[in-house]
């Protein structure tokens, strides 16, 4: 038998290598697919990180602008003496590329849940829809919540809550926030909702500043009549009106305000907007000129 030729041997070797060549191609394709998947994951991560960094940066800038708005308003209010300090107004300015607009008003324009008299509290609730007898009862509930109990065991208000199956008793201490009014039992939630824009815990005043109060609060002042209210509203339109004299005449609060509510709005160069409602207390002693009492971003 003759030996196989070189051509036959080469053909046999090539035939044996075909499966190996196919395996290598499949492995290369798998590696390319894995690399492509990794690239997609990496690109997604980069895009997500960029968006996250942009959001965080915008939030930091907004917070800084809000604090600048507070500082600017507190500075302007602190520049005036107590007797000459405005009780309401607007600060409109630019900071860098952002537009800042801050409307401020003294907390004396609201009814204080901790210091307001029963007549004032009842008058507010009556003006918001409660009948006179209901308003008296609801005012008693608020006063009982804030009044220290002599003995907790025989406190009637505690028994009232226990009888309703409520798992807590009245605080018998000042309201820390106006939102705690929602915990007072015996007052319809719909009435509490209507009260919230007109109450505070920061003025520490038994009455209200009639030079700043809105009509709903003015109507709550003891002895107020529609004629008196109209006179007050007309007098407030006159820039030369003495707010102290106005309060003295109509039973309002004459003490200079210390607490102010700021409604701050920011508009960036790109058109992005942010708002916050902030309550500050002006200080006379210490290193800090003011203290933030409440801060709510909207």
pLDDT tens per residue across span 193-249: 999 999 999 999 999 999 999 999 999 999 999 999 999 999 988 888 888 888 888
What pLDDT is stored for residue 188 in this prediction?
A: 96
Banded model confidence at residue 3, pLDDT cuts 50, 70, 90: low
Asked whether residue 8 carries a pLDDT value surpassing 60, the answer given is no
For position 167, what pLDDT does the model report? 92
| Residues 16-40, mean pLDDT to the nearest whole number | 69
Residue 7 has pLDDT above 60, yes or no: no
Whether residue 133 lies inside any domain: the answer is yes
The answer to the question of residue 20 being in a domain is no
pLDDT digits (tens, 9 = 90+) for 138-189: 999 999 999 988 765 557 888 899 999 999 999 999 999 999 999 999 999 9
Length of the chain: 298
> Which pTM was predicted?
0.76
pLDDT tens-digit map of 80-132: 887 788 888 998 888 777 888 999 999 999 999 999 999 999 999 999 999 99
pLDDT of residue 46: 67
Q: Which residue has the higher pLDDT, 24 or 293?
A: 293
In a domain, 297, yes or no: no
Per-residue pLDDT at 24: 66
**Nearest to 268, CA basis, from 52, 54, 103, 73:** 54
- End-to-end Cα distance, the chain: 99
> Which pLDDT band holds residue 53 (cuts at 50, 70, 90)?
low
Q: Is the pLDDT of residue 49 over 70?
A: no
At residue 97, the pLDDT reads 79
Q: What is the pLDDT of residue 48?
A: 67
- The mean pLDDT of the chain is 84
pLDDT of residue 21: 58
The CATH number covering residue 188 comes to 1.10.40.60
Domain-located, residue 201: yes
Per the structure, the complete domain to which residue 195 belongs is given by 111-250
Other CB atoms within a 10 A radius of the CB of residue 254 amount to 14
The pLDDT of residue 16 is above 60: no
Q: Looking at residue 66, what is its pLDDT?
A: 86
Instruction: Cite the DSSP H helix spans in the chain.
Output: 6-79, 118-127, 132-146, 156-163, 189-195, 215-218, 226-236, 243-250
140 within some domain: yes
Q: Give the angle 65-68-72 at the CA atoms, nearest 5°.
A: 140
The CB density around residue 95, as the number of other CB atoms within 10 Å, is 13
In a domain, 170, yes or no: yes
In a domain, 13, yes or no: no
Q: For residues 280 and 241, which has the higher predicted lDDT (pLDDT)?
A: 280
pLDDT at 40: 77
CA distance 175 to 142: 9
Sign of CA dihedral 260, 203, 116, 231: negative
Q: Which residue has the higher pLDDT, 257 or 51?
A: 257
Task: Indicate the number of domains in the chain.
Answer: 1
Q: Is residue 121 part of a domain?
A: yes
């Amino acid at each position: 038998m003759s030996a196989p030729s070189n051509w036959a041997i080469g053909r046999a070797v090539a035939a044996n290598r075909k499966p190996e060549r196919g395996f290598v191609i499949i492995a290369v394709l798998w590696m390319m697919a894995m690399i492509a998947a990794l690239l997609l994951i990496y690109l997604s991560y980069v895009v997500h990180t960029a968006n996250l960094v942009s959001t965080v940066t915008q939030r930091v800038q907004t917070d800084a602008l809000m604090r600048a708005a507070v500082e600017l308003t507190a500075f302007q209010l602190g520049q005036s003496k107590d007797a000459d300090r405005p009780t309401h107004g607007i600060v409109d300015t630019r900071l860098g590329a952002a537009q800042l607009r801050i409307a401020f008003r003294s907390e004396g324009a609201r009814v204080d849940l901790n210091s307001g008299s029963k007549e004032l509290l009842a008058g507010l609730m009556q003006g918001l829809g409660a009948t006179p007898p209901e308003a008296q009862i609801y005012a008693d509930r608020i006063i009982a919540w804030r009044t220290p109990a002599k003995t907790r065991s025989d406190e009637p208000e505690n028994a009232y809550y226990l009888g309703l199956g409520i798992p807590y008793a009245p605080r018998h201490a000042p309201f820390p926030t106006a939102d705690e009014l929602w915990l007072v039992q015996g007052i319809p939630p719909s009435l509490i909702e209507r009260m919230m824009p007109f109450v505070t815990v920061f003025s520490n005043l038994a009455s209200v500043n009639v030079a700043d109060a809105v009509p709903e609060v003015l109507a709550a002042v003891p002895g107020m009549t529609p004629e008196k209210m109209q006179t007050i509203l007309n007098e407030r339109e006159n820039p030369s009106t003495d707010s102290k004299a106005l309060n003295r005449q109509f039973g309002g609060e004459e003490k200079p305000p210390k607490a102010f509510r700021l409604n701050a709005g920011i508009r960036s160069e790109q058109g992005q907007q942010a708002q916050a409602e902030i309550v500050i207390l002006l200080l006379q002693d210490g290193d800090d000129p003011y203290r933030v009492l409440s801060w709510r971003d909207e």
